[in-house]
Amino acid sequence: MTTFADLGLYDSLLDGLDSMGFEKPTPIQEQVMPHILAGKDIIACAQTGTGKTAAYLLPVLDKISRQEKEHTAALIISPTRELALQIDHAFQGFSYFTSASSIAVYGGGDGHTFDREKKALTEGASVVIATPGRLISHLNLGYVKFDQLDFLVLDEADKMLDMGFYDDILKIIRFLPSKRQNLLFSATMPPKIRDLARKIMHDPFEVNIAISKPAAGVTQTAYVVYDAQKPELLKHILMKRTDPSMLVFASTKQTVKDLEKELRRKGLPARAIHSDLTQEERESVLLSFRTRQTRILVATDILSRGIDIDNIGLVLNYDVPGDAEDYVHRVGRTARAESTGEAITFIGQKDQRRFGVIEELIERVIPKEPLPEGMGQSPMYNPAARSGGGNGGGGNKKRRPPFRKKRKSPANG
């Protein structure tokens, strides 16, 4: 069994890993870390929850720990502020016994936040973790010094390209020294990622770990429903659960807001996170969820890749995500780091074709559960049908409108 000590990491890093209870590297860490430590460029394709954050942070910290002269050694670019904060939190843990410092630079906040970032960038930090737009704002003002940069890390590269950051990344790279080590981590490898890699990397070593498949520890089930049945089914499921943390994904921020109100009205400890909240409000909600003060977090896909919390027992997809890959990322919030968890998806009539694409992607037919007694009949699951509906369902020979009956009232980066 390979240990972190076998990888030759600096003693202070091993002390930090030992204090955090890390005993052995995950497969992605074991495969890429020796090559990063050897100075190779890396393209790593790995799903969320496999430990990729530590796979690049530990080698970066190892090099920083061995350097005599302090300077900004690494730039880590992430697509969202949530992921930037997650990476920064992981950095703080791994670097506890080292002298390395970091600054997270992301959009939102006020002028005071920008000034604080400017001060840190001017004085210098060992590692800068940034979203593209905010970093460019600082770069354009001329005080950011990357002339001695050793590492450029692109985390969730596919998500960044999906969000339209391709040109921003190329612009940022123009501010960096040409001689540097490039590390690219992505959950998928579309052609545009290959194109980007060709432009910025030199003879990269490639690793592929469990692409586009939920972790083995996730139990996946689904309910085929009419939209009108979703709220009652959600409350029925959550009220029966005893998990310390549950995560509910919905496709729009309005749905997220409505669900938070409805669940709280039923006495369930739920809070919502979405793009209308300020950064301070988002951080408050996440802290409440991390500390188990809030058991149920209702979120848009803003969190599908930007939250690293252990022991989330249930991920519930109130809506089928629009992109099949997003399903993998949502489900990846549970069963992290070889633990177990459950994922439940509500398949509305208009969502059936999309869910069929998800089943093709993960190469698995997900079991469809019957609706609880008293919630009416469900549509037939027929993802090939244009309307997504069918003639009857759930074993019923004839489809009838649903009726509602009141019931007595519930992350190794």
pLDDT digits (tens, 9 = 90+) for 87-113: 998 899 899 899 999 999 997 766 788
Nearest to 357 by CA among 387, 320, 329: 320
For 12, what's the count of Cα atoms within 13 Å in the CB-facing half-sphere? 15
Structure confidence by residue, pLDDT tens digits, 393-407: 333 333 333 333 333
Structure confidence by residue, pLDDT tens digits, 36-79: 999 999 999 876 667 889 999 999 999 999 998 889 999 999 99
Task: Give one DSSP letter per residue of 206-232, joined into a string.
Answer: EEEESTT---TTEEEEEEE--GGGHHH
Structure confidence by residue, pLDDT tens digits, 302-328: 665 555 666 788 999 999 987 777 788
pLDDT band at 13 (very low <50, low <70, confident <90, very high): very high
Rank 137-151, 186-200, 205-219 by mean pLDDT and report only the highest: 137-151
pLDDT of 304 reads: 56
Domains and CATH numbers, the chain: 5-209 (3.40.50.300), 218-369 (3.40.50.300)
Structure confidence by residue, pLDDT tens digits, 254-297: 999 999 999 999 999 899 988 788 778 888 888 898 888 999 99
The three-state DSSP-derived secondary structure of 357-371 is HHHHHHCCCCCEECC
- Average pLDDT of the segment spanning 333-356: 81
Provide the whole-model pTM. 0.62
Least confident of 111-115, 365-369, 391-395: 391-395
Cα separation, 25 vs 234, whole angstroms: 37
Q: Is the pLDDT of residue 244 over 90?
A: no
pLDDT band at 162 (very low <50, low <70, confident <90, very high): confident
Q: Which of helix, strand or coil describes residue 378?
A: coil
Q: Is 83 exposed, middle or buried (0-12, 13-18, 19+ CB in 10 A)?
A: buried
- Please give the mean pLDDT across all residues of the chain: 84
Phi/psi of residue 53, each to 5°?
A: -60, -45
